[in-house]
Amino acid sequence: MISRRLFLLGISATALSACSTTRQPVVVEPTFDPYYVRMYGPVTDEPYMVAAMDLRRVDPQWWRQEVPYMTTERPGTLVVDTPAHYLYLVLEGGRALRYGIGVGKDEALVFRGNATIGRKAAWPRWTPTKSMIAREPDRYGPYANGMGPGPENPLGPRALYLYKNGADTLFRIHGTTEPYTIGTNVSSGCIRLMNQDIIDLYARVPVGARVTVINA
């Protein structure tokens, strides 16, 4: 007869054997259209490298795409729809190129209406506004005299500066060091695009282009 001790040892051995053959869950990585992988891949022909986007971290609704868009604005106009977190470059034939944007909670919500792109800058210098310094002096105070261009600059690789009646509105359309905040209201800044998107937009619009900003 099998002793109780041997019986229990047999159960233990069987349990251990079962555990050792249990398969671990297989994590299936998502696959992406090669078109978007190229669109948001690394940019290496710049003064500073622009890192590839991890598309797993940004909902596809915020990726750059051409969409139907009926508007009375003429082609070449930028429409910044801050409540919807989209920027549209109006095209011919009821179409637009749509970009996902991040919207600053303060600076981006103080301007609405029409303006023009008064200046463009590649790898711009950044200076925080007085309100930003007052709100977070420890964070922004050290940069009161500005920050030079580079990967850590909050404006990213490109910036479009909006003017009205010849004066700077302090409203900016620019890149970001926090690309995964696209589609949200962020703590500071104006209108942020993913860096690959602001490079694309910058190349498409000239100084003097009309901009209309929709705010809630």
**Active-site residue identified among 160, 174, 176, 199:** 174
Question: What's the rounded Cα separation, in Å, for the pair 193 and 99?
Answer: 7
**Active-site residue identified among 87, 190, 199, 205:** 190
Where does the chain have alpha helices with state H?
4-20, 34-39, 130-135, 137-140, 195-204
Question: What's the rounded Cα separation, in Å, for the pair 174 and 201?
Answer: 10
Note if 174 is an active site residue.
yes
Question: What's the rounded Cα separation, in Å, for the pair 197 and 168?
Answer: 23
Question: What's the rounded Cα separation, in Å, for the pair 207 and 58?
Answer: 30
Expressed in angstroms, the distance from the first to the final Cα of the chain is 83
Question: What's the rounded Cα separation, in Å, for the pair 124 and 73?
Answer: 29
Report the helix count and the strand count for the chain, using DSSP H and E: 5, 11
The two three-digit tokens of residue 44, written as one number:
């290496």
Question: What's the rounded Cα separation, in Å, for the pair 186 and 3?
Answer: 69
Note if 190 is an active site residue.
yes
Question: What's the rounded Cα separation, in Å, for the pair 192 and 159?
Answer: 9
Catalytic residue positions, numbered: 174, 190
